[in-house]
Amino acid sequence: MMKSNYETQTEKYEFISGQHGGYYRHDFIDHAYLYNLYFPPEAVFTSFKDQIHDIVLNYPIAQDALAGLIGDLIHQPAERIVVGNGAAELIKIISGHISNKLIVPVPSFNEYANAAPIGKVVEFPLEFPSFQLDVDKFAAEAIKVKADVAVVVTPNNPTSIVVPKSDLISLAQKLANHDCMLIIDESFMDFVHDPDQTTLEHEIERYPNIAILKSMSKAYGICGLRIGYMLTANSAFAESVRKGVHIWNINGFAEEFLRILPDYRQEFVESCKQVRIDRDNLYKSLCAIPGMTVYKPDANFIFCRLPDHAQSGPEVTRRLFIEHNMYIKHCQDKTLPDSGRYVRIASRTDTENCKLVEALVDVIDLNKVEVS
């Protein structure tokens, strides 16, 4: 067990808020990180146990074979796929080494901008206060700044809003003649109500300037295994990304997971259905909080603007942890107007979500004396 670097709940909050994982070691309810609590099933862990000697003692397979395993799962040719040590590895390659000028709507997942060299990123503000993406304005700005990579996260993080498929196709067409790759991050796509009709994976062959990026951590609940992939019909772009990954960038546990995952397709589908049910119930409960602005979610988390009478996002986040041992994500570090008023809440089980709403109402009540 990791040695605790805190003695009080306040010190525990200060410690946890500076970490980027390992939360399970510290005994609190995590409504910050975004993953599927209902997958993988226990049989997957049994398979790991049965194979553990071979997994630990042998080299894992390399990129071409890994791409084949992903290809079998998503019914795509291996040559269109690059497998990363999480999507973060692929983002680092694209933003940090391939792109000369990257444009991304904000607020969004910060890593695309963080991974790029200084001065190589243009942040394009989403429509306020709807946080919708105007693809015509976005395309015009991308062309104006001569971006060679445009990024759209859908459903977006932190807003949990999906960009319509028709809008993304229109965007790709507008960028096609301007030497600009459109990166569509679909890491949360499995949580939309009709993912098969919303994803652009089936359209990839028609649009060679599109690359789909997907972190498997979120939908498959495997944050510790670190698997992500990129899918594109643009062979030159795929090869440029492929050159950036190491020969053994994926470990043996991740390989074994990819090998057995097709055996659990139905369990995965059912798990995502349960996530949607819990999320929708949480959305309704949050909408009932007086003064709270709650954005209708498409992913497994919910974006909210706190009531005007409440304290700031960072303070509500802090008090929720100190007084109720629950952790959410405030959005003060995101690029959006009045960012300190917004929070992002990950959906967990229905029971945990109900307790979270009760605790949030308690913290928002400014007439209550704070626990020190």
Q: Rounded to an integer, what distance in angstroms lies between the CA atom of residue 242 and that of residue 249?
A: 11
Does pTM top 0.85 for this prediction?
yes
* Maximum separation of any 2 CA atoms in the chain, in Å: 61
Strand stretches in the chain, DSSP E? 29-30, 81-84, 102-106, 121-125, 149-153, 181-185, 210-215, 228-232, 293-294, 301-305, 326-327, 329-330, 342-346
**For position 269, what pLDDT does the model report?**
97
DSSP 194-244: SHHHH-SGGGGGG-TTEEEEEEHHHHHT-TTT--EEEEES-HHHHHHHHTT
pLDDT for 98-135, tens place per residue? 999 999 999 999 999 999 999 999 999 999 999 999 99
Question: Hey, what's the torsion of the CAs at 49, 51, 56, 61, to 10 degrees?
Answer: -130
The domains of the chain, with CATH numbers, are 9-40+266-364 (3.90.1150.10), 43-263 (3.40.640.10)
**For position 366, what pLDDT does the model report?**
64
**For position 2, what pLDDT does the model report?**
52
Residue 55 DSSP code: H
Q: Rounded to an integer, what distance in angstroms lies between the CA atom of residue 260 and that of residue 263?
A: 6
Place of tokens 């995965």: 268
Torsion sign, CA atoms 284, 354, 279, 111: positive
* All residues at 6 or more sequence positions from 271 whose CB lies less than 8 Å from its CB, including other chains: 36, 38, 39, 221
Q: Are 183 and 150 in contact (CB under 8 A)?
A: yes
pLDDT for 16-65, tens place per residue? 999 989 999 999 999 999 999 999 999 999 999 999 999 999 999 999 99
